[in-house]
Structure 1
Amino acid sequence: MSRALVRPLDNLTTSCYNRFAMFFQKIETKRKSAYAAEQLISAIKNGVYKAGDKLPSERELAKQMGISRPLIREALSALHLAGIIESRPGDGTYIRKNVRNGRIEAQVLSILEGDVHPVEVLEARKSLEEGIAKLAAEKANTEDLKRIERALTQEEKAAKERDYDNYVKSDRDFHLAIAAASHNSLLEAAVRPLIKIMGQELWGGMDLLYLFNDQGIKQTLDEHRRIFDAIRQRNVTLAVEAVRRHLNRSKERFLGDSKEGQ
């Protein structure tokens, strides 16, 4: 851990905001989400936040540390994966357990240091999947359409049952089925690792922490249904627009451009 991340506290009985403002420092490093996670862990280790305490909002954390909300989301997602915090829909983020050893901290940092940034993945996918949707609308055969619809049906079933693992799997299967329906092996090979990267730890943590909620699920399923309908109708324009809108909105949901969590 970097030196001087922790400042002495004059009074631990002050308000949550004052405790927080006195403790965290602005970050000036190349891997800001990792240092944000370190500061949060330091706060928990030093008793600023204890098990059961509610953390400040993303916006407040970002303001105090001088970084963007997406970077705060990365840090919080890593802490969530390590079991340190939990999200309570409609309420906020709470400390789940105290941090007493370095293994958990090492786990958090390894999660943060090993992944491609999700925004980069979404931008790359958008560039490829718009063209894939166009070809799928033109070339998809009966078996292709059955495969896409089967994945969508499984995704809807998993969402209804709150089965996160199968929801993520069927989400990937849906996009991979569309890629296969393009009947272009180069495009399919290019997009496959970008879709599968959704299963990596950091991405999965953010998906579970921020998107696996009633609003996020409904939006995603509606967008997927529009994509499938456009491909089935062989409407190239609508298919491309539906994919563009879906991935743009996925990026917005990740970046927090909607009003939740403010």
Structure 2
Amino acid sequence: MEIKPIQKVHVGEQVFQQMKRMLILGEWMPGDKLPSENELASMFNVSRITVRQALQKLVALNLIETRLGEGSFVRTIEIEQTLDRLMPTMYLGEKTNIQVCEFRELMDVESARLAAKRRTEEDIERLNEIISEMKKAEKIKDSNEFARLDLEFHFEIGRITGNPLIIKTNDILKDILEVSMADVINRMGYKTAIDYHSRILEAVKRQDSVQAMDLMREHIEKNMDYFRENP
């Protein structure tokens, strides 16, 4: 990768940004030892102090680690750790039901498509169990339990995808989504959710990814339409 000339304004930030970009682009791979401070200072034509400041920022981001007497090394980044650091910001500010539905549409529609392609017989059994429990909760009008199971159905669809980003994001946002789901059930009732979940399950069971995706989108958009009409 070509090293860009460093301008004299905010030199330390420029070094940090270039080094971060090199890590992201794979110029330095996990496990690689970075050049020494002297070598980096020469590469960027800056002082060792400036290089050290940039390295400290990269350490703070968990992109590299410094080993005493050995130098700096590129860390292996775990998806879960990265998402965990984002968790506090996801809870800031009030979330409207429309915003939550928009997020769910982005996540759940694609999850339904992937789940239909990747599901196992055990997955189908688990989805069936959740719907059966939802019907029991409906009979006794337990809206809190129904809302929990409703969300569990969507999370199970996400789990079936096998994608750790989808699974972890759902887990991080569980509390926000539970509050919204409870409001959906209290205002819209039980029947719509059971009807759509049953149809989505059948599409997933047939491995009809297009139908599963279309039904999930229709399901969530129906919720959004309701909240637009009944703010």
Q: Which amino acid aligns with 1:233?
A: R
Asked if 1:210 is matched to 2:187, the reply is yes
Give matches, 1:1-262, under 5 Å. 115-200=94-179, 203=180, 206-207=183-184, 209-212=186-189, 217-256=190-229
Per-residue deviation, 1:209:
4.4
1:13 corresponds to: none
Per-residue deviation, 1:206:
3.3
Contact 1:129–1:191, Cα closer than 8 Å, also in 2 = no
> Deviations along 1:211-249, whole A, 9 cap, x unmatched?
23xxxx212211111111100110011000010000000
Per-residue deviation, 1:122:
0.7
Secondary structure in 2 matching 1:234: coil
- Alignment partners' CA distance in 1, 2:207 and 2:182: 35
- Alignment partners' CA distance in 2, 1:256 and 1:123: 16
1:90 corresponds to: none
Per-residue deviation, 1:256:
2.4
> Deviations along 1:178-223, whole A, 9 cap, x unmatched?
11111111122223344542323xx3663354223xxxx2122111
TM-score scaled by structure 1? 0.49
Q: RMSD of the TM alignment (CA)?
A: 2.2
Secondary structure in 1 matching 2:223: helix
- CA gap of 1:223–1:195, structure 2 versus 1, over 3 A, is farther
Secondary structure in 2 matching 1:187: helix
- Alignment partners' CA distance in 1, 2:175 and 2:126: 18
1:43 corresponds to: none
Contact 2:123–2:160, Cα closer than 8 Å, also in 1 = yes
The percent identity for this pair of structures is: 24
- CA gap of 1:144–1:118, structure 2 versus 1, over 3 A, is same
- Alignment partners' CA distance in 2, 1:210 and 1:141: 34
Contact 1:210–1:254, Cα closer than 8 Å, also in 2 = no
Per-residue deviation, 1:168:
0.9
- Alignment partners' CA distance in 1, 2:106 and 2:139: 31
Contact 1:172–1:196, Cα closer than 8 Å, also in 2 = no
Per-residue deviation, 1:139:
0.5
Larger Rg: 1 or 2?
2
Give structure 2 stretches of 5+ with no counterpart. 1-91
